[in-house]
Structure 1
Amino acid sequence: MLNIGDYVLSKKTGHIGKVIGYGHEIIGNTYTSTLKVLVDHTPDFSKKGLVEEDVYSAWTAWQEANNSQAMS
């Protein structure tokens, strides 16, 4: 379970950010949970501060040890 304030990694884009909220979308007649993420780091160092909303399953927890290395 990902909580508000957790750092997460997008499996699709490689973006790293902090969970700032939750949402829901209807995708293919299915009510799907989403995460709202404030992006801190992208692979090409662009789009910092972007808020992304994507299905919950597209994100995974980002480990604190990795987080400190990636952000420096």
Structure 2
Amino acid sequence: MFGIGEYVLHQKTGHIGKVIGYGHEILNGVYTTTLKVLVDYAETSGKRGVVEEDLYSAWVKWIRF
């Protein structure tokens, strides 16, 4: 699980941001974990500062250089 403050990359959208919280969603009767991410870089829209919530499995750890 990612910790609060860690940077993550969304595998489909390319958005990069900092984990600011967790959530939950019920999909097909299954309780799933979501991440709340403050987007620093949005490849497609260019919008920053947007809080995005998506399934935990859609994100991977991103290491800043």
Gaps of 5+ in 2: none
Q: How many percent identity over aligned positions?
A: 63
TM-score, normalization by structure 1: 0.85
Greater strand fraction, Structure 1 or Structure 2: 2
Greater helix fraction, Structure 1 or Structure 2: 1
Per the alignment, residue 34 of structure 2 pairs with 34
Greater than 3 Å deviation, 4+ residue runs: none
TM-score, normalization by structure 2: 0.93
Structure with max Cα Rg: 1
RMSD value over aligned CA atoms?
1.1
Residues 9-51 of structure 1, C-alpha deviation per residue, up to 9 Å, x if partnerless?
Answer: 0001000000000000001100000000000001146211110
How many residue pairs align between the two structures? 65
Gaps of 5+ in 1: 66-72
